[in-house]
Amino acid sequence: MKTLVAGVAVALAAMPALSSAAQPKVSLNDIEGEVMCPICGTLLELADSPQAEREKAFVVGLIAKGRTRAQIKDALVAQYGPEVLALPTASGFDLSAYLVPLIGFALAASALAIGVLRWRQRGGPPGPGLPGPRGPSAEDAERLAADLARYDL
Amino acid sequence: MRTRPLIAFLAVVALVGLLGYGLLSKGSTGVSVGEVAPAGPLPRLFGPGSGSLAEYRGRWVLVNFWASWCIPCRQEAPALESFQRRYASPSFTVLGIDTRDLSGDGQRFVHQYGLSYPQLRDGDGQRAHEFGSTGVPENFLIDPQGKLSLANKGPVTAAYLKHYVAPLLAGGRS
């Protein structure tokens, strides 16, 4: 019985350690490259204004409380609104930040495909096989024969 | 092949349209004297729930956009509090709007300067943007009909409040 109780106690003691191990620790460096300093209009990691320092202190405080990356970002959004996130939102005009590259890629791929098709069509229908090496012209053959005749090998 | 120029033209038109939409949707706004001021709800700086300028319809309201990190805001806070203590009535109040600020910092600022007037929060700065504000502090006097009567970019002083705001309150005109 004592062994069982001791085992349960050890397991309970280990649980917080296990749960914290499951959550990768986040650092200020991880966060400040993904959020903005809304007042400065730059990434938080590039800003060193008093406002940015307060925002960094806010993030450090949340890290100290064991908050996850997502929870910290949510807290920043609650404070400053969605524009604090460095990534544009997937709605409204900001959606174009995602759509324009996709549309551009699709257009480029289509243009490439059309170009390749036209290039192949312009080359004419493929022959029965690869053309063999062309022989020398009659003039060259005559000169070759004359040269060879001069050498008695 | 006339389709290629047409496609190129349509692509350019679409791109220009997209840029134009972006500029219009994020362009500058603002309210001019005589126009109705934005009065949508904002979260309260203290406690849950929201408040709005619309709640004060029928009163003169001096809307003060401020932030705890703003040095001039610290300089004008005593003048605003003094003015509020002297003129607060059923027909007038100062309304503070803490903008682009951490709520904890804003709350500390209010305690530090002993501000007694109501406070709202504009975390993303959208309301300040709607007013046409480009920085902090900025002050907007709203008349009882909810229209902008006076705007001041930068900090107000006791002298400004006495000479420009108080006469309007006393006269009751908009």
Tens of pLDDT, residue by residue over B18-72, are 777 766 655 556 899 999 999 999 999 999 999 999 999 999 999 999 999 999 9
**Do B103 and B134 belong to one domain?**
yes
- 3-class DSSP state for residue B119? strand
The burial class, CB within 10 Å (0-12 / 13-18 / 19+), for A111 is exposed
Helices (H), chain B: 3-26, 71-87, 103-113, 126-131, 158-160, 166-171
Which residues 6+ apart lie within 8 Å of B138 measured at CB? B64, B65, B128, B131, B151, B152, B153, B154
Q: CA B50 to CA B42: how far, in whole Å?
A: 5
* Residue whose token pair is 């290039």: A119
Residues of B in contact with A38 (CB under 8 A): 100, 124-125
Residues of B in contact with A54 (CB under 8 A): 68-69, 102, 105
Mutation choice for A interface testing from B23, B73, B100, B109 by most A CBs within 10 A: B100
Enclosing domain of residue A102: 90-120
**Do A102 and A56 belong to one domain?**
no
Cβ-contact A76, A67 below 8 angstroms: no
Looking at residue A2, its pLDDT comes to 58
**Do B20 and B37 belong to one domain?**
no
Number of domains forming the structure of chain B: 2
pLDDT tier at B10 (50, 70, 90 boundaries)?
A: confident
Residue-wise pLDDT tens digits, B84-116:
999 999 999 999 999 999 999 999 999 999 999
Q: Beta strand B138-142 with B60-66: parallel, antiparallel or unpaired? A: antiparallel
**Do B58 and B14 belong to one domain?**
no
Whether residue B172 has pLDDT greater than 60: no
Residue of A nearest to B14 (CA): A100
Looking at residue A20, its pLDDT comes to 47
ipTM of the complex: 0.77
Enclosing domain of residue B90: 31-171
**Do B76 and B145 belong to one domain?**
yes
Cβ-contact A45, A33 below 8 angstroms: yes
Cβ-contact A38, A80 below 8 angstroms: yes
**Do A100 and A82 belong to one domain?**
no
Q: What φ, ψ does residue B149 adopt, rounded to 5°?
A: -110, -30
Which residues in chain A (42-101) have CB-CB distances under 8 A to chain B? 50-51, 54-55, 58, 78-84, 92-93, 96, 100
**Do B11 and B92 belong to one domain?**
no
- 3-class DSSP state for residue B146? coil
Cβ-contact B106, B119 below 8 angstroms: yes
- A72 falls within a domain: yes
Number of domains forming the structure of chain A: 2
**Do B16 and B95 belong to one domain?**
no
**Do B6 and B38 belong to one domain?**
no
- Which residues does B contribute to its contact with A (CB < 8 Å)? 11, 18, 21-22, 25-26, 67-69, 100, 102-105, 123-126
Mutation choice for A interface testing from B10, B25, B102 by most A CBs within 10 A: B102
Q: CA A82 to CA A137: how far, in whole Å?
A: 76
Alpha-carbon torsion (B79, B83, B84, B85), positive or negative: positive
**Do B13 and B83 belong to one domain?**
no
- A5 falls within a domain: no
User: CATH number for the domain including A63?
Assistant: 1.10.8.640
For chain A, which ranges sit under pLDDT 50? 16-21
Is B102 in Cβ contact with A54 (below 8 Å)? yes
Whether residue B158 has pLDDT greater than 90: yes
**Do A104 and A82 belong to one domain?**
no
Is A54 in Cβ contact with B69 (below 8 Å)? yes
Residues of B in contact with A92 (CB under 8 A): 25
More confident residue, B17 or A21: B17
Looking at residue B140, its pLDDT comes to 97
Whether residue B1 has pLDDT greater than 70: no
**Do B44 and B90 belong to one domain?**
yes
**Do A94 and A61 belong to one domain?**
no
**Do B115 and B65 belong to one domain?**
yes
Q: Which of B18, B68, B125 sits opposite A38 (nearest CB)?
A: B125
Residue-wise pLDDT tens digits, A50-91:
999 999 999 999 999 999 999 999 999 999 999 899 877 677
**Do B102 and B159 belong to one domain?**
yes
User: CATH number for the domain including B63?
Assistant: 3.40.30.10
Strands (E), A7-149: 36-37, 42-43
Looking at residue B5, its pLDDT comes to 79
Which amino acid is residue B172, in one-letter code? Answer: G
Prediction pTM value: 0.70
CA dist list (Å): A15 to A9, A12, B56:
10, 5, 54
Is B124 in Cβ contact with A54 (below 8 Å)? no
